Each structure stands twice: as C-alpha cells, then as structure tokens.
Amino acid sequence: MKMVIAIVQDHDSQRLSDRLSKNNYRNTKLASTGGFLRAGNTTFLCGVADDRVDELLRLIDDTCGNREQTVSPVTPMGGNADSYIPYPVEVEVGGATVFVLPIEHFERF
C-alpha cells in the first residue's frame, strides 16, 4: 500500500478529480497555496495498492500538463529590490508535484 500525494494547480483540479473517481481511486482533496506564484493549488491524497501506483502516476501526468503563463511579480516589501523584475514574465506552470510514500498499516471503517 502506498500514499500518493499529488499537488496540482487549481486549473487542473476538477479534471483530475473526475478522472480519479472514474478510475475508482478514492481520494481526499485539500486546498493549498503555492509558494512561488502564491496561486491556488489542490493537494490530493490517495491510498493506493502497490500494483496500481504506476497507473495512477500516468493518469496524473496525462491530466496535469505544463503550460506557459504570464505573471506580474509582486512588488518587494523590504529586503533587496535589486532582483525585482518590474514587468510581467512568462513562466511554466501546471504539471504536478507527486510524492509516493510507503504505508505500514491501513484501515477503512
């Protein structure tokens, strides 16, 4: 048994949730916030049998693609302003950050 923790952009959240349900992956959704863009994310927690982990990882990869997005940097409040970029920049967003953890014991009540 493994615990798969997938952090995805809110943009991909509903589509991933639908695909998880359709493929019989029980999951818990948590609202989270990213540190770099300070944008909304969704964290999915999925308890998965060992033999289904690779299938789940492919599903996440297929659903949560990378894309380019223009962002306006936040004005620095204190600190060093030398590295501040005063104009919008293109950054790659999307995808998923996934952790796969071993589970020693699991109960469902």
pLDDT per residue rounded down to tens, the chain (109 residues) = 999 999 998 889 999 999 999 999 999 999 988 765 566 789 999 999 999 999 999 999 999 977 676 666 665 555 555 555 567 777 666 689 999 999 999 888 9
Class at the top of the CATH hierarchy for domain 2-71+89-102: alpha beta
As a 3-state breakdown, the chain gives helix, strand, coil percent values, each rounded to 5, of: 25, 40, 35
pTM for the model stands at 0.75
For residue 40, the model assigns a pLDDT of 79
For 14, the enclosing helix (H) or strand (E) is: helix 10-22
Q: List beta partners, residue 91.
A: 69
What is the pLDDT at residue 11?
Answer: 85
Residue 64's contacts (CB-CB under 8 Å, 6 or more residues apart) are 6, 8, 9, 12, 16, 94, 95, 96
Instruction: Output the pLDDT for position 34.
Output: 72
